[in-house]
Chains A and B, each alone.
Chain A
């Protein structure tokens, strides 16, 4: 399930995305009310190769300390406010037999809407207690989460946040990004012309967006309409090489600007 390859360039670019930090110095993986904390938690483990303790906290005050290395979960070192965590807390080294318990624990902890923050610290892996651990890919499979698709989502997280904040006013959209399948939503009769447009004019569109953006690497959003407040308007957003093109219904002024501001915050 997790065998698809993601462009190395896209992943490197995603890892260079500036992090957001809470006042307490924790790195914000998912803001409260936005994104998918469970996906973000698994992705954080998947991207941790060195031996680290990942201290996760959600907006409800619960926390999990996971000792991880080489994309494997070695031990549940601590847990606060997480129902069922005792089943894995006393285990010196996690393995396949703990998969179901761990799945329930992370599902309960990383419920949608709660937000997620993390602090990463190193830990020493003692030679006489080396554990193979539980591969995070096994946990992702048990949760029916495609880690590669989740990683791809991170690279256009800004576009997804804009879509989420605009809401129902965006009646049809498609996102095109190198090395991933198009993602779309809306009536097929509206999506097809947008895809055809990107098939034929992707390069000239990027050239046009280059003329509107102060720097090619900067995000840019444009709306075109007869009057911008009624009927249909075209929305086009580019960020990190990914391009969203969509159709707005009705007022495309304040809703789009508010979505940009929220997605950038």
Chain B
């Protein structure tokens, strides 16, 4: 399965995931995306920057002091639920998702983590 096919598979399984994007956080670029919501590259890159902001200081340092480096972040705002997961062994790879508030977030996080592991094996 290609990276795009992995993203399309999880997006199909979770229709409330409007965007599922594979990103390189070091270059702040989305490399592939899937989902019902078509975002321009500009908006996808903005999503990537949000991922970077969610893992940034001062919360990142507090997280390290509390439990270690954060690999996952959830951001909830009035019009969306965003999920950012970093690949453990290669910190710059990440999946960035935009979801509806009705999504089963627990199941989705598990599915996205499995998808990221699969993509990391491909890369």
Contacts and interface: CB of A to CB of B under 8 A. Distances in A.
Interface of A: 193, 197, 201, 204-205, 208, 211-214, 218-229, 231-234, 236, 247, 251-254, 256-257, 260-261, 264
User: What size tier do the contact residues of chain B reach?
Assistant: 35 or more
Nearest to A221: B76
Contacts of B68: 226
Given A234-B62, A234-B66, A254-B104, A218 B57 contact: no
A253 B70 contact: no
A257 B75 contact: no
B77 A208 contact: no
For the complex of A and B, 8 pairs with smallest distance between CB atoms: A201-B58, A211-B53, A254-B106, A221-B76, A224-B70, A228-B72, A253-B105, A223-B74
B109 A221 contact: no
B50 interface: yes
A261 B101 contact: yes
Which label, helix, strand, loop or mixed, suits the secondary structure of the A interface? mixed
Contacts of B57: 201, 204, 208
Contacts of B73: 222-225
A226 B81 contact: no
20 contacts: A193-B62, A193-B66, A208-B53, A208-B57, A208-B58, A208-B59, A214-B79, A221-B74, A222-B76, A223-B72, A226-B69, A226-B72, A227-B113, A232-B67, A233-B67, A234-B63, A251-B106, A253-B74, A253-B105, A260-B76
A204 B59 CA distance: 9
A233 B53 CA distance: 17
Contact of B74 (A211, A231, A232, A256): A256
B115 interface: no
B56 interface: yes
B56 A213 contact: no
B50 A211 contact: yes
Contacts of B54: 212, 222, 224
Contacts of A211: 49-50, 53, 56
Given A229-B110, A251-B106, A224 B77 contact: no
Contact of A218 (B72, B78, B106, B109): B78
Contacts of A233: 67
B58 A197 contact: yes
A212 B58 CA distance: 13
Contacts of B59: 205, 208, 222, 224, 234, 236
B67 A229 contact: no
A261 B81 CA distance: 11
A253 B73 CA distance: 10
B77 A252 contact: no
Interface string B82-117: 000000000000000000011111101110010000
Nearest to A211: B53
Interface string B33-57: 0000000000000000110011111
